[in-house]
Amino acid sequence: MAIPLNTVLPLHVIDASLALELSCFGFIVLANVVWREHHIFALYSLATGALALLGFALYAAENFLGGRVTVKRLAAWSHTLWYMATSLLILRSNLRLSAS
């Protein structure tokens, strides 16, 4: 559910936090789960989660290195790039977990 920023700001903040900030921890957990079989993918997932958390921390601290929009994009675009890279890996059959 998208909440327009200029109409209901508290709902937008809650929505963005749940959709983007909480998923950073999912990237970190995923990196731990796939570490044995896919080191590079695990490192990429860990870096994505850490980079997005850094973006959110900078934004929350109102430390806008490069501008407010730059920090917001640092937090949000890292997810998008991860989704695209992971989709390509799956489509090319480069990312499979062995049955254990």
Q: Identify the pLDDT of residue 62.
A: 79
Closest by Cα among 36, 34, 19, 7 to 90: 34
Compute the Cα dihedral for 7, 9, 27, 60 and give only its sign.
Answer: positive
Q: Identify the pLDDT of residue 28.
A: 93
Instruction: Note whether residue 98 is domain-resident.
Output: no
Q: What is the mean pLDDT of the chain?
A: 82
Closest by Cα among 19, 16, 20, 43 to 30: 43
Instruction: Note whether residue 57 is domain-resident.
Output: yes
In the numeric block, the tokens 């950073």 are attached to 24
Between CA 66 and CA 69, with CA 67 as vertex, the angle to 5 degrees is: 120
Instruction: Note whether residue 75 is domain-resident.
Output: yes
Instruction: Note whether residue 2 is domain-resident.
Output: no
Q: Identify the pLDDT of residue 9.
A: 75
Q: Identify the pLDDT of residue 2.
A: 58
Q: Which CA distances in Å does 17 have to 28, 56, 97?
A: 17, 9, 30
The mean pLDDT of 8-14, rounded to a whole number, is: 76
- Domain containing 84 equals 9-91
- Under the banding of pLDDT at 50, 70 and 90, the label for residue 99 is low
Is the model's pLDDT at 37 over the cut of 70? Answer: yes
With 0.95 as the threshold, say if the pTM is over it: no
Number of domains comprising the chain = 1
